[in-house]
Amino acid sequence: MSNFAKFFIDGKWTEPSTQNYLDVIDPSTEKPFAQIAMGTAGDVDLAVQAARRAFDSYSQTTVEDRIAIFKKAADIFKRRQREIAAIVTREMGSPITFSLEAQTATCVGHLEAIVDILSQYSFEEVSGSTLIAKEPIGVVGLITPWNWPILQIVVKVLPALAAGCTIVLKPSEVAPLDATIFAEVLDEAGLPAGVFNLINGDGPTVGEAISSHPGIDMVSFTGSTRAGILVAKAAADTVKRVTQELGGKSANVLLDDADLATAVREGVIACFANSGQSCDAPTRMLVHKTQYDEAINIARAVAAEQTIGNPNDAATVLGPVASEMQFSKIQGLIQKGIDEGATVVAGGVGKPEGFDVGFYVRPTIFANVNNDMAIAKEEIFGPVLCVIPYEDEEDAIEIANDTQYGLAAYVQSADPAKARRIARKLRAGSVFINYPDWDVKAPFGGYKQSGNGRESGHHAISEYLEIKSMIGHG
């Protein structure tokens, strides 16, 4: 636990510049179990200086050198996976089985995939008489969220390192501890000093300092749309590149030829996974009006089956949400749904029976929802599903696209060609057809106010590169 209250700067664990500490709260007990130091703009500046010094040499390393580091990091991560999963469970409430099989298993997938992606990536191409070189953009600031804390670090750090960039990372202060372990993993893997730097802190202080720092060439942010706007504004004065993965309100279109029982069941489970705290969760289930009542009955039964419990219990499916602030926000939106006339068919306000302690939310399903209601418009970020009827395919597409967001969408159909035809009409960065397995090489990112830029796959490396044209033959 000793490194949790320190920062990782220039290859060393260093004391913070001020003695300002924040408790890390276990959301299942509502009690603190660790502390982190809260950084300042001065701490960020030291990290940026280290990253700038390291950039000249690291940016010139070979692809083979970088691959060797990734291979070592993958081995070390796998060795420490259970430890990391346990920390994620403790800091943000993800059930331990989910922490092992999703939160950290996806990281292993990305660590293995980056080796294959980088080995095939071309950093040069020829167009006519021009040699086009793709060069690392420089020092990048990475600001990551609490809902998939270690995964969001991995999907930013790996492509940045693959591109040849150096890094200053600020993880969420709600779930910061896994970042410390990942810093130890990279250090043990042989990453040179100064290439990766870690500063803990809050958004208004450390996030602002990263976003506005003239020594940082790019910022990649994942979080709420509101916070993403603030990052972009802070970055504007230094004309740095900003990529953002922001909010979502993803529609799940159940076409009338889909197996209804399977489509509804899997849709409810996907919505409630991670206690609903995923930006791409299918939170609006669109069902043909002739199947609506049957779908509601199926959804109600599936909600009742969800095992709520201590997140350290391997049988638990739904743990607490990550913080008291998140709990209060979800409760307010559930109440708003009731006030606006939606029908609660499962769950509702308050904690589940028998859970007086911990930020537990009743898994909730609303029927008789229309797209003008707050619960259909706003990202609730909890285990809350809205079921909305539609008239025909055109109506379903219109409802699905009637949102400020465009991160993800889902389509269920017995006809893959029809599903893909509908998918092409949905304004979303990812469309998941018939609940596929996760593809670690699929680019991930949003349309509209869900952000810009892509993570995962070879597209992610491109985000961290500048394009240089060398015209003529010299």
Mind listing the pLDDT tens digit of every residue in the chain (474 residues)?
468 999 999 999 999 999 999 999 999 999 999 999 999 999 999 999 999 999 999 999 999 999 999 999 999 999 999 999 999 999 999 999 999 999 999 999 999 999 999 999 999 999 999 999 999 999 999 999 999 999 999 999 999 999 999 999 999 999 999 999 999 999 999 999 999 999 999 999 999 999 999 999 999 999 999 999 999 999 999 999 999 999 999 999 999 999 999 999 999 999 999 999 999 999 999 999 999 999 999 999 999 999 999 999 999 999 999 999 999 999 999 999 999 999 999 999 999 999 999 999 999 999 999 999 999 999 999 999 999 999 999 999 999 999 999 999 999 999 999 999 999 999 999 999 999 999 999 999 999 999 999 999 999 999 999 999 999 976
Please indicate, yes or no, if residue 321 is contained in any of the structural domains.
Answer: yes
Question: What are the residue numbers of the active site?
Answer: 245, 279
Do 144 and 169 reside in the same domain of the chain? yes
Positive or negative: CA dihedral 379, 384, 387, 393: positive
Do 13 and 119 reside in the same domain of the chain? yes
The DSSP secondary structure of 205-248, one letter per residue, reads: IIIHHHHH-TT--EEEEES-HHHHHHHHHHHHTTT-EEEEE---
Total domains in the chain come to 2
Please indicate, yes or no, if residue 445 is contained in any of the structural domains.
Answer: no
The pLDDT score that the predictor gives to residue 296 is 98
The pLDDT score that the predictor gives to residue 1 is 46
The pLDDT score that the predictor gives to residue 474 is 62
The pLDDT score that the predictor gives to residue 176 is 98
Please indicate, yes or no, if residue 117 is contained in any of the structural domains.
Answer: yes
Do 290 and 260 reside in the same domain of the chain? yes
Please indicate, yes or no, if residue 43 is contained in any of the structural domains.
Answer: yes
Do 41 and 146 reside in the same domain of the chain? yes
- Angle CA 179–180–184, to nearest 5: 115
Do 230 and 276 reside in the same domain of the chain? no
Do 432 and 462 reside in the same domain of the chain? no
The pLDDT score that the predictor gives to residue 25 is 98
The pLDDT score that the predictor gives to residue 243 is 97
Do 203 and 64 reside in the same domain of the chain? yes
Please indicate, yes or no, if residue 305 is contained in any of the structural domains.
Answer: yes
Do 196 and 264 reside in the same domain of the chain? no
Domain that holds residue 218: 2-246+450-471
CATH code of residue 141: 3.40.605.10
Please indicate, yes or no, if residue 259 is contained in any of the structural domains.
Answer: yes
Helix 177-188 with 63-79: angle, nearest 10 deg: 130
Please indicate, yes or no, if residue 155 is contained in any of the structural domains.
Answer: yes
Helix locations, 95-224, DSSP H = 96-98, 105-120, 149-163, 177-188, 208-212
Do 231 and 299 reside in the same domain of the chain? no
What are 371's two structure tokens? 């797209």
Do 387 and 433 reside in the same domain of the chain? yes
Instruction: Judge if pTM exceeds 0.85.
Output: yes
Do 197 and 77 reside in the same domain of the chain? yes
CATH code of residue 354: 3.40.309.10
Do 67 and 209 reside in the same domain of the chain? yes
